[in-house]
Structure 1
């Protein structure tokens, strides 16, 4: 007889432990063990939360190199779930095999788990192909594509919460924190009489009531400086939506701005400043014609502005012209900083409301949440746990499917907060998402190319760009190292059928088979694979952080980011006042609900996982593990440099600090 030493690690999640009986079968190249009940001196406590328990499994002879294990949980006293983290097996020859699991076992069926060495389908053991196929067949049943609305990325099919597989649900801790944050926010608003109030705000100062107890350093700064032109321009670089601004080399035909309008006194000329690269444009054309919401039987208003900005000799970015509708007309004036105070301020408010809606639908929901879900569902459907790309990407899918499920059922559903309180809620949102997807290109998802395409390589004080490019390079080198370890040449990429199915599914269900997007339909080279996987990780971590974490910072003070507007824009200069501006801004209830939602969506949970931290030991080989450590080291260095830089900034930029970035789209 020979003995195998089996060590079982139970996870640290709430309720991860079990008191049921656990049976194990070892399968090697030369045979398999009998199904053996795992018993030791710990008895019923062998598989409690965070336990590490060792057992002996005996075989008549050695069964050779271990390939997989079979685990079965059988009913003893009370049926419960179990979350094993990993199993380590030491063979009689002295070799230790690692079996990563990190999955809930909720039934009494036999579950197979592969040894941790990563293998593509074309190099797998012949005796394991059947199990590989069975795993993918099961995943295909659990993770099904669903068309939420025509013309936008497909999502995972889940009509109710129980349709979500246990492995992709929030932890108990996060569930409690999420409900608590939401609940306390709503109670606070109701106690203050704001949640359901249809009253208008009497003046700007009164709006601060809705922020009591929920302010941040930046939200306080926004409250003090939201009227300032230089802060208005600054937000296009380092606010929550740095994705719209472009360098302008020629004015659009529908934006007839003249030198006399923007540079009175002939200090500058548009032609000269455009040649110098000092003129920038923000065009909200996708909002043009989007059907604005009706809230409490009142028509809401949403414009599609054109905004011209000028980089001053002091390196400040200031708005110099705003046209609130796309088509020039007498009743669509071009507003200027020299106009009466409330004309100019109201024009900026309409722009900030447009930016809020464009940001939420395009930059945030579509380009991070929905695409991250596509990447995740395709991964879970097409790649088995033993595949190297699964091991690399599975940490970057954590909690994404449930947070998107909650968004569809509680934010953008018929009774959702966004539907009830935002200008693009309801029908308008789908229209905007459809238009936005048509403009999503592969290059726009890759920050080095996106920055170059928008002509923003040398814009001063652009911290999103500075930190983002450094992060992209760090992620790229990490991905290049890991995938280069497994894919030695282009031929290996081309013959990996599971990998090709992954990208094919993404192209079909994420980008609706539109070749114009530039998204690859298949991989032919290692470098193509490395770039695409870098984009996936960057999108699910850094990019999401850039457009999500600062939502309350910049939107908590409502006048800086109104979710909707209650009056049409002025059609003639000199007709606005403080009173008309207050009538235009959202009422107390809309303000309070919008701010409360932004607070919830900006608050990380206590079990968040920062970028580069991998709680699960999915990789067994030495090289990937060393690359992970090097990756973490580079992120720490960048984080330290960002912190040092921020010490000298009046408004620190923290959204691309690796310590603040979550590994996946979790909120």
Structure 2
């Protein structure tokens, strides 16, 4: 390439990385022109490696060039290509230009499809606010194309928006395959469950369930050992998959039929008032589940639970009401009730909690809401925009996973219909309710959410493990985001003049009914007026996509694999009395054998870690020194 005589020593080497996306490679003839910082430029040079396929999907190709000796520091690069080949479009991840004499490297992060017969110009580091970019028309035309590719709408009334058709940019790489059905078959075979997957009927004993677990799929030993214990039930609220519900109780709600006489025997000598004043009582209210649709074999409660923090700092339940309004057919279950009756009440609460976890905490908040942010980002921010480059690593495969999950897990007669009490229609009901009141500046901002629940003070509810782990991570992420945003917006005028950013914000907060994403509580009033407002917004998106998702997703197998520990499905009606129950009654209420195996296998797959940890990005988008240092810092802080 560019070596006319074949004997000249190369002056530069172009290291060209083709993206790992479906159709990313090209057979077209690609030409580049390099510009230096003195205004000089090279002749057009063709990226060609004789006798060798190059520019293939996922490849890194080195192209020596020898007719650039008169150039200084490379500042700009032009790319053009013809339409040769069946599918000439080419997805370029990056071009690193290495100077052979001093070994310096100039980086051009592209992260775009290059189309035939178009002219592209990219600056060194390619990270500029739109008002400062010479390539304004290029940015404009790219965004016009992306708005067509990333059109969106809710999949059902009231739901968050999703992309209408999965764009090629969002296709998963060869290195990340997320095929639920094939993984189910493979894992079932490896774990020795293949023959069992055809089992039908109910469980005869807990020993039959214990026998399911092999070394391959893993035995949820702690859950099997402790699932009956009150302290374990309390610990599930503090370090399980759904830690976003528990709140400080300052008074007993009128609808909760708890009296002092009922609970004071379990308060270690305190009166109800003393326990409230000492901030040792906590509550969960799942009113959101009231009236939702459900599978015909089941009924889902809308429970209230009162917890007490013991002197040993362990949290235990002291009262459970399984429906909202107190009354004779809605008893308050107590630890002094028949042991199996009390255990069954805890299981029914956990069934409601599991419904909220899968529907809201996991799918609703860390998948669907974040997809809305990703869609607005792709549609309004050029890949050259620093906020696009800041957020893009956290959207990796998200839209593709959501598309696949909705089509395979949440489809009619799919996994949700078969294994969860709510079924997919109840799931839609709960998500639609949850997003009505969700606010980014409260629910999506961890310190504010903890404060709203009375739990920001570390002296309240010691051993709240999620808070102890997640809050420091929130501050690490915010510091990382702040360093980048403060670098690029070093004057108020830059934020005011950033028309791409203003467009992004407007689409994020525009109501879904009017064609927007519909996110409430974005800081500021219509526009960002300070760096802090943008920092809070971006920090929330990064936190939910990373820490929030990790907390809700990765422990799933441990919680769900043993059905009575955290049952997604319970047959029968919500209890309306305190009649004594037997172990046989509990066994008969559990998921069937086939349902249990399906839950085990799918939650095992969902619990697998498929992408790198925060800061260790699969694809690097930001190369400027400030951003690189910020990313390096987040990785070091993460480890410490």
TM-score (norm 1): 0.85
Which residue matches 2:147? 140
Which residue matches 1:155? 162
1:204, distance to aligned residue in structure 2 (A): 2.2
Deviations 1:464-510 (A, max 9, x none): 10111111111111111111111012332122110111122221267
Q: 1:113 to 1:368 in 2, by over 3 A?
A: farther
Which residue matches 1:246? 247
Q: 1:517 to 1:431 in 2, by over 3 A?
A: farther
Match of 2:197, SS state, is coil
Match of 1:501, SS state, is helix
Match of 1:146, SS state, is strand
- State which drifts further: 234-243 or 200-209: 200-209
Among 455, 466, 475, which residue is 2:468 paired with? 466
**How many corresponding residue pairs?**
620
Q: How does 1:88-487 map to 2 (within 5 A)?
A: 88-89=96-97, 97-103=106-112, 108=116, 110=118, 112=120, 114-115=122-123, 116-125=125-134, 128-158=135-165, 164-175=166-177, 180-186=182-188, 193-216=195-218, 219-264=220-265, 267-294=269-296, 299-442=297-440, 443-456=442-455, 457=457, 458=459, 459-487=461-489
Which residue matches 1:630? 633
- State which drifts further: 55-64 or 542-551: 55-64
How far, CA to CA, are the matches of 2:182 and 2:175 in structure 1? 11
Which residue matches 2:575? 570
8 Å CA contact retained: 1:507, 1:519: no
Match of 1:445, SS state, is coil
Among 552, 562, 566, which residue is 1:561 paired with? 566
Q: 1:378 to 1:12 in 2, by over 3 A?
A: closer
Which residue matches 1:550? 555
Which residue matches 1:491? 493
Structure 1: give runs of 5+ residues left out of the alignment: 159-163, 638-667
Q: 1:358 to 1:17 in 2, by over 3 A?
A: closer
Among 1, 6, 9, which residue is 2:16 paired with? 9
Q: 1:111 to 1:553 in 2, by over 3 A?
A: farther
8 Å CA contact retained: 1:190, 1:196: no
8 Å CA contact retained: 2:14, 2:64: yes
Match of 1:114, SS state, is strand
1:423, distance to aligned residue in structure 2 (A): 1.3
Q: 1:425 to 1:114 in 2, by over 3 A?
A: farther
Among 592, 614, 620, which residue is 2:597 paired with? 592
Which residue matches 2:609? 604
Match of 1:444, SS state, is coil
8 Å CA contact retained: 1:241, 1:359: yes
1:225, distance to aligned residue in structure 2 (A): 0.4
How far, CA to CA, are the matches of 2:101 and 2:46 in structure 1? 23
Match of 1:426, SS state, is helix
- State which drifts further: 427-436 or 505-514: 505-514
Q: 1:410 to 1:176 in 2, by over 3 A?
A: closer
8 Å CA contact retained: 1:186, 1:596: yes
Q: 1:191 to 1:460 in 2, by over 3 A?
A: closer
Match of 1:499, SS state, is helix
How far, CA to CA, are the matches of 2:533 and 2:21 in structure 1? 40
1:579, distance to aligned residue in structure 2 (A): 2.1
Deviations 1:242-273 (A, max 9, x none): 00000001001111211221123982211110
Q: 1:304 to 1:431 in 2, by over 3 A?
A: same
Match of 1:263, SS state, is helix
Q: 1:137 to 1:50 in 2, by over 3 A?
A: same
How far, CA to CA, are the matches of 1:510 and 1:471 in structure 2? 31
Deviations 1:199-232 (A, max 9, x none): 1111222222443345547x21011100000000
- State which drifts further: 61-70 or 577-586: 61-70
- State which drifts further: 182-191 or 299-308: 182-191
How far, CA to CA, are the matches of 2:517 and 2:16 in structure 1? 43
Deviations 1:102-142 (A, max 9, x none): 4566x7554736222421111112xx111111111111121
8 Å CA contact retained: 2:188, 2:194: no
How far, CA to CA, are the matches of 1:462 and 1:316 in structure 2? 10
1:322, distance to aligned residue in structure 2 (A): 0.5
8 Å CA contact retained: 2:29, 2:84: no
How far, CA to CA, are the matches of 1:427 and 1:17 in structure 2? 38
Q: 1:226 to 1:510 in 2, by over 3 A?
A: farther
1:621, distance to aligned residue in structure 2 (A): 2.3
Which residue matches 1:664? none
1:554, distance to aligned residue in structure 2 (A): 1.1
Q: 1:198 to 1:616 in 2, by over 3 A?
A: closer
Q: 1:495 to 1:80 in 2, by over 3 A?
A: closer
Q: 1:317 to 1:4 in 2, by over 3 A?
A: same
Which residue matches 2:31? 24
Match of 1:174, SS state, is coil
- State which drifts further: 274-283 or 168-177: 168-177
Q: 1:122 to 1:441 in 2, by over 3 A?
A: same
